[in-house]
Chains A and B, each alone.
Chain A
Amino acid sequence: MSMKLPSEATLRRIIAFVAALGIGVATYITIADSGGGAPTCLAGGTGCETVANSSYSHIAGVNIAVFGIVGYIVLLGTAFFANDLARFGGFAVSLGGFGFSVYLTYLEIFKIEAICQWCVSSAVLMTILFLLNATRLIGYAGAPPAESRLAGKGRSVEPVVSGEG
């Protein structure tokens, strides 16, 4: 069974789009939490308040959503370049973000015992970004650098492997 990898330009465009969504979600959580408030759960319930008010929501006084914003911005940045630094950087940051999301979801379910749908949304986005960046690294690591512009019509990059699986 062989599967054709999407082109690197396509992967980069999807990564940019998902990272932009992530910036939106993390920014909303940060703004809603500032001044002692909490994000509003769209599906109702007090899960978001409980999570936002828990001792796990801040690290050294900084809302963890701020770390999320930084991570998503870096990931968005990596989508603008088609070289090995961007490929590996995107993979490493999204891997870290994914691991952190797993830990935070564990805290929500087993320690805080409440679910905040905004945090779950961010965890899902980060998981998608991790999968996209892993595909990008596996498919294109070592490929020559290409046109930097996201929507550029520059030289397309051929996958180094065509995804056996």
Chain B
Amino acid sequence: MSNKREREKRREEREQAEARVDTADRRTRLLQFGAGAVFLVIVVVVVLIVANSGGSSGGDAANIKEVSQVDQLFTGIPQENLVLGDPKAPVTLYEYGDPQCPICKEYSEEILPPIFENQIKNGEAKLEFRNFIIIGPQSTPAGAGALAAGEQGRGWNYLELFYRNQGKENSGYATGEFITAIAKAAGVKNMSKFNEDRKSARITNEVQETTEQAQKYGFTGTPSFAIEGPKTHGIELLGTPGSTETIEEKIEAAA
């Protein structure tokens, strides 16, 4: 009788001990899985960051994007040198920019298109791009390319395509090969003239001159704008207007 009770008691103790071991095992396994998962996530995040740290987004001469969109944007708008719009338009808006500048790209894609579509298309205003080299050494040949493309009537297509294919600032993507690929995609016909022009002292000096002019105006960032029209007293400096509406109001006031 007492033997039986003792056996039962021992069995109960054994079962409890086994349950404790089970719990401890399960806990150890879960924590090991947890540690493994932490390790896996660290590896994945590091791989993603390393894979993204190259200049893979944009700046690729072999893959110029959005050519037809840019063509469509400027269809029906006259352009000569870097002046976009009717040369007889009463108001002239000046944009001092740097082809490598990401904010100029943002303006070009988001703030300026309604101005292209309305005030420039209907002959109320024209927009002249002037180089204001601020980002780095490769900005000078990039800006010279815009002037050279402008001489063949494709300056704005060049600028817009440059923005839409920008690599990271000063990452070294704006090579001669990239500039040539942009010009070709922008519809520049005579490529040997383009290459000769963009390297000429005449055009390089012009890039330098407009940069000095921007500095003289006191501009410190790109893009900076100025405006001139029948109702302004000479050239009026606008700095960097934050919205399409502000630019529209300035054009309205200058006309």
Q: Are B57 and A55 in contact (CB under 8 A)?
A: yes
Q: Collect the chain A residues with CB atoms within 8 Å of residue B17's CB.
A: none
Cβ-closest chain B residue relative to A111: B52
> Which among B37, B38, B52 is the interface contact of A107 at CB below 8 angstroms?
B52
Distance of A97 Cα from B189 Cα, bound (Å): 51
Q: What chain A residues lie within 8 Å of B27 (beta carbons)?
A: 141-142, 160
The distance in angstroms between the C-alpha atoms of A151 and B250, with both chains bound, is 61
Q: Contact between B37 and A84 (Cβ–Cβ < 8 Å)?
A: no
**Does B1 count as interface, using CB distance less than 8 angstroms?**
no
For residue A165, give the distance in angstroms from its CB to the closest CB of chain B: 15
How many inter-chain contacts with C-beta < 8 Å in the A-B complex? 55
Give the residue name and chain of the B residue nearest to A45 (CB).
B242
Whether B31 contacts A137 by the Cβ 8 Å rule is yes
Give every chain A residue within 8 A of B30 (Cβ-Cβ): 84, 87-88, 137, 141-142
The answer to whether the Cβ of A72 comes within 8 Å of any Cβ in the partner chain is no
Residue among A55, A99, A113, A138 making CB contact with B31, cutoff 8 Å: A138
Chain A residues whose C-beta falls within 8 Å of the C-beta of B53 in the assembled complex: 110
Say whether A88 contacts B34, CB under 8 Å. Answer: yes
Q: In this assembly, does B62 line the interface, its C-beta being within 8 Å of a C-beta of chain A?
A: no
* A113 CB, nearest partner CB in chain B, Å: 7
A100 to chain B: closest residue by CB: B45
CB neighbours (8 Å) of B26 from chain A are 84, 141-142
Residues of chain A within 8 A (CB-CB) of B217 are none
A20 in the interface (beta carbon within 8 A): no
Complex interface: chain B residues within 8 A of A53 (CB): 110
* Residue in chain A with minimal CB distance to B58: A55
CB distance from B56 to the nearest CB of A (A): 10
User: How many residues of chain A have a CB within 8 Å of chain B?
Assistant: 27
Q: Which of A50, A99, A107, A111 contacts B106 (CB 8 A)?
A: A50
A92 within 8 Å of B (CB atoms):
yes
Please determine whether B52 and A99 come into contact, CB atoms closer than 8 angstroms.
no
What's the Cα separation between A79 and B28 when bound, in Å? 22
> Nearest chain-B residue to A49 (Cβ)?
B110
Q: Shortest CB–CB separation between residue A30 and chain B, in angstroms?
A: 22
A102 contacts B45, C-beta separation under 8 Å: yes
How far does the Cβ of B151 sit from chain A's closest Cβ, in whole Å?
33
- CB contacts (< 8 Å) of A88 on chain B: these are 30, 33-34
Residues of A within 8 A of B44 (CB): 99
Residues of A within 8 A of B73 (CB): none
Contact across chains for B24 and A95 when beta carbons are under 8 A apart: no
Cβ contact within 8 Å between A95 and B38: yes
User: B residues 44-61 with Cβ under 8 Å of A?
Assistant: 44-45, 48-49, 52-53, 57
Residues in chain B within 8 A of chain A (CB atoms): 23-24, 26-28, 30-31, 33-34, 37-38, 41-42, 44-45, 48-49, 52-53, 57, 102, 106, 110
Chain A to chain B: the 8 pairs with minimum beta-carbon distance, closest first: A142-B27, A99-B41, A141-B30, A142-B23, A141-B27, A99-B45, A142-B26, A103-B48
- 13 pairs, CB–CB < 8 Å, chain A vs chain B: A95-B37, A96-B41, A103-B45, A106-B49, A113-B102, A137-B34, A138-B31, A142-B23, A142-B24, A142-B27, A142-B28, A160-B23, A160-B27
